[in-house]
């Protein structure tokens, strides 16, 4: 893995965030930083995504900000142009993977099946998002489909249905680099300005990831 994903793996948690208003970018960044989580995946599920990334990248450079839900080469270009330092997608698209490699942009496509994982491996990628993690079969499914690829050193960021209550089930798997946390900063939290709640959830997630990792060493 390259530097941004190495950092995510050390933390064990990637907050996956859909934010509607660019005006909330700084408050959100500060809430995450205060919670000891200097990392954010801003998803391209809202029209504000690129602007939010640009604001965070410029005003809060200590926050490692990346882009999620990259579904088109245009979205990839917008993410890079805004200052995103890494990107993820829910599925595998060879054109996007190639474009990311050309730009030397750290990128993790999504997988759900052995065929998806074969495509990722053939491109020489060492990190993939496992999505939708819970609906696709949970930790047992990821452990099963990743086993034939273990010798390649591929690792995963399971996202979708992961929570503070079950993240330990994922993080105890050696192939899991980090979990995607959609609960840390929800649309409702951001929309209603519940910054202290976001800080508290970020702090709890970081502590939980650390405790699980230490217990499974």
Measured distance CA(15)–CA(180) in Å, rounded: 6
Q: What is the pTM of this model?
A: 0.96
3-state secondary structure 115-184: HHHHHHHHCCCCEEEECCCCCCCHHHHHHHHHHHHHHHCCEEEEECCCCCCCHHHHHCCCCECCEEECCC
Inform me whether the pLDDT recorded for 1 exceeds 80: no
Residue pLDDT, tens place only, 187-212: 999 999 999 999 999 999 999 999 99
Pairing of strands 107-108, 87-88: parallel
Tell whether the torsion through CA atoms of 56, 59, 64 and 66 is positive or negative. Answer: positive
41 assigned to active site: yes
The one catalytic residue in 34, 51, 129, 187 is 129
- Please give the backbone phi and psi of residue 105, each rounded to the nearest 5 degrees, phi first: -105, 120
Check whether 60 has a pLDDT greater than 90: yes
pLDDT over threshold 70, residue 54: yes
The most distant pair of C-alpha atoms in the chain lies apart, rounded to whole Å, by: 46
Q: What is the pLDDT at residue 190?
A: 98
- At residue 169 the predicted structure's pLDDT band, cuts being 50, 70 and 90, is very high
Residue 5's pLDDT band (boundaries 50, 70, 90)?
Answer: very high
The pLDDT, as a whole number, for residue 105 is 97
Q: Which helix (H) or strand (E) holds 114?
A: helix 114-122
Which has the closest alpha carbon to 148: 179, 184, 118, 176? 118
20: Cβ contacts below 8 Å, ≥ 6 apart? 46, 48, 187, 190, 191
The pLDDT tens digits for 88-126 are 999 999 999 999 999 999 999 999 999 999 999 999 999
Q: Does pLDDT of 153 surpass 60?
A: yes
Radius of gyration of the chain (CA): 16
Strand partners, 130: 111, 158
Give the per-residue pLDDT at 217: 82
Average pLDDT, the chain: 97
Greater model confidence, 1 or 25: 25
**Average pLDDT of 27-46?**
98
Segment 26-37 mean pLDDT: 98
Domain at 3-215: CATH architecture = Alpha-Beta Barrel (3.20)
Exposed (0-12), middle (13-18) or buried (19+): which is 111, by Cβ within 10 Å? buried
Give the orientation angle of helix 25-34 with respect to helix 49-59, to 10 degrees: 60
Question: Is 62 annotated as catalytic?
Answer: no
* CA 156 to chain CA mean position, Å: 10
Among the options 20, 34, 41, 74, which is catalytic?
Answer: 41
What is the pLDDT, as a whole number, of residue 138? 98
* Residue 132 binned pLDDT confidence (cut-offs 50, 70, 90): very high
């Amino acid at each position: 893995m390259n530097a941004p994903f190495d950092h995510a793996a050390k933390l064990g948690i990637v907050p996956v965030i859909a934010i509607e208003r660019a005006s909330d970018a700084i408050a959100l960044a500060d809430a995450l930083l205060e919670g000891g989580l200097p990392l954010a995946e801003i998803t391209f599920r809202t029209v504000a995504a690129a602007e939010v990334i640009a604001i965070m990248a410029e005003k809060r450079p200590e926050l490692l900000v990346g882009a999620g839900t990259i579904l088109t080469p245009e979205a990839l270009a917008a993410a890079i142009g805004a200052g995103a330092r890494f990107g993820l997608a829910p599925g595998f698209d060879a054109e996007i993977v190639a474009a990311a490699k050309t730009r030397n942009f750290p990128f993790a496509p999504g997988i759900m099946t052995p065929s998806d994982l074969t495509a990722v491996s053939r491109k020489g990628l060492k990190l993939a998002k496992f999505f939708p993690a819970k609906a696709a079969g949970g930790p047992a499914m990821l452990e099963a489909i990743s086993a034939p690829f273990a010798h390649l050193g591929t690792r995963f960021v399971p996202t979708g249905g992961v929570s503070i209550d079950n993240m330990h089930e994922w993080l105890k798997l050696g192939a899991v680099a980090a979990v995607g946390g959609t609960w840390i900063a929800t649309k409702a939290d951001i929309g209603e300005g519940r910054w202290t709640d976001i800080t508290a959830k970020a702090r709890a997630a970081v502590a939980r990831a650390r405790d699980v990792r230490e217990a499974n060493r």
